[in-house]
Amino acid sequence: MAEDIRVRRIYDDPAPGDGARVLVDRVWPRGLRKDAARLDDWAKDIAPSTELRTWYHHDPARFDEFRRRYAAELARREQQAALARLRALAADRSMTLLTATRDLGLSQATVLAGILGAASAEEGGDAACWAHLVCPGCGAVVSEGHRPGCSLGEQRPQGDMSGPVR
């Protein structure tokens, strides 16, 4: 995978070094014509769920928890095809993940770039091969134990890594 994965706002003019331009928002950005975006892909299926996006509401105090919950969503079977499509698109060229979010550091695009970048740093790594370790119920790393009250953590012993948490 190409090591150059960057994050930019969709409202910025396309740049020569963008490589594959992929919008990773679930909703089309306000006031932007589709032909002006010059996209290679609109990966709305990789964006956070409506429920997670609504809960997060770009609150900086919730970002760490948002990142955990989003990683858990990316571990789901439905998201694996979307991740594979992004990996294939970035296999031989740079990629720019685009979002309408104002604060790029607190966006799902930044989280996704980190996951894709981590996969390219590990030889033979898969962007979500570790994501099954994150509990979708509480967002905790399963090997470190579930959060108090997590119903999924009660279904199998703490640290049991025999398969994906569902």
Query: Are residues 96 and 144 both part of a single domain?
Result: no
Residue matched to tokens 């790594």? 125
The identity of residue 15, as a single letter, is A
* Burial (CB count within 10 angstroms: exposed 0-12, middle 13-18, buried 19+), residue 102: exposed
Query: Are residues 88 and 164 both part of a single domain?
Result: no
What is the spatial distance between Cα 99 and Cα 36, in angstroms, rounded to a whole number?
14
Query: Are residues 156 and 110 both part of a single domain?
Result: no
The DSSP code for 14 is: P
Query: Are residues 122 and 152 both part of a single domain?
Result: no
Task: Report how far apart, in Å, the C-alpha atoms of 138 and of each of 4, 39, 85, 104, 114 are.
Answer: 32, 34, 27, 25, 21
Query: Are residues 85 and 29 both part of a single domain?
Result: yes
Query: Are residues 100 and 160 both part of a single domain?
Result: no
Query: Are residues 107 and 76 both part of a single domain?
Result: yes
Query: Are residues 38 and 12 both part of a single domain?
Result: yes
pLDDT in tens, the chain (166 residues): 445 899 999 999 999 999 999 999 999 999 999 888 899 999 999 999 999 999 999 999 999 999 999 999 998 888 888 898 898 888 888 999 999 999 999 999 999 998 887 755 443 444 444 455 566 665 655 555 666 777 666 654 444 444 443 3
Counted domains in the chain:
2
Query: Are residues 124 and 145 both part of a single domain?
Result: no
> Do 20 and 90 contact (CB within 8 A), yes or no?
yes
* Of the candidates 13, 18, 16, 12, the residue with the CA atom closest to the CA atom of residue 101: 12
Query: Are residues 31 and 59 both part of a single domain?
Result: yes
What is the spatial distance between Cα 95 and Cα 1, in angstroms, rounded to a whole number?
10
Show the domain range for 117: 5-129
Query: Are residues 119 and 153 both part of a single domain?
Result: no
